[in-house]
Chain A
Amino acid sequence: MRYFAAVLLFLLAAYFYFYFGFYGSNWILLQPFLLALLLLYFNSNSPWFYYSFALLAGLFVDSFSGIFGLHSFTFIFIIFILKNLQLSIFTSRNILTVVVLSIFAFVIFYFCVYLIHFIFVGDFYVFSGRLFGQLAKMAGWGILIVAILHILHFNFWVKKNEEQPF
């Protein structure tokens, strides 16, 4: 079941990635693959499973972007940091933890993208107030989506079928 859900999430993320990328202008900042990765991470307890998903999702995005390896490394690094935070500081299971870790994920994502782009291309992005606003808005939407889907999954699936992963 979880493999089916992972494939479905991957395909949905790919759909929205192309759809937003080509037609939705600023909606690409929603980062569909990051949302899919977070959802899978919060709802799975097998590190091999979500690390593999992070690798595949990253490689997929890298195939259509300028710096090969950027997203792969970023996604794996995000999972690594979130897992460490969960094992050390944010050990509780509530929705606030999910929201806080999602915020961390978005911050790490943009930080890595900026840093790796700067190191390997030697160019830097211009973070205008407008772009910051859009990033914050889309990150907010992303976190909201992750939180809602996580709650839905917990209430309608985990409670009835299995134990919550963390």
Chain B
Amino acid sequence: MNGNGVLAQTLRWLNDPLNWQGPHGVPALTVEHLGMSAAAVLIAAVVALPLGVWLGHRPRGGGLTVVASNTSRALPTLALLFIFATTGLGFGNRPTVLAAALFAMPPILSHAFTGVREVDPAARDAAGGMGMSAARVLGTVELPLALPLIGAGLRTAAVQVVATVPLAALVGGGGLGTIIVTGFATQRYGQVVAGGILVAALCLAVEAVLAFGQRVLTPRPMRAVAVGR
């Protein structure tokens, strides 16, 4: 056991200015990491948000949504990445962004679905009674009331994506995961630990920023609802 040795190596790696500059330095990798994550969340949101809202808006059906989103937990991200690599999608960042986007869809979808579906029927009825069309009910009543849950879904998805993107390094991609994977490959365990700490710190930071942003963006009367994730 030389845990102390590893700790010293970790600190040395983190304190080495060479690791913090250039195209493979920590800042550059972080920017790449966040860029890939943003792209993945965007793709997932574009597909899953309208679908979830629509499924929730319809009076019936949609039970399958929740089942499908639960089952998707069992599919290993790694499997999808490796399968992508053997197809035309190839290696690196693009397939990783796609895989991360695919895994970000279930939380966005199920949260949007639940948010719209669980809107108080009385509010929906009142809007209908005032002569609003279905589309107006959706836009002015259901969506605003579902917003806290939709936000929670996006937040869950974003944090999950930031945590998934490191796997890109296993298929020749970039981002902060490269520090870990290169460290394992060269048996520099101080670097491995340093990479692990950086990835974990980034995830926690993203989670904190999004939680704060969600709080600020939620209108005060609705804050109590927004606690659930």
Q: Do A and B bind each other?
A: no
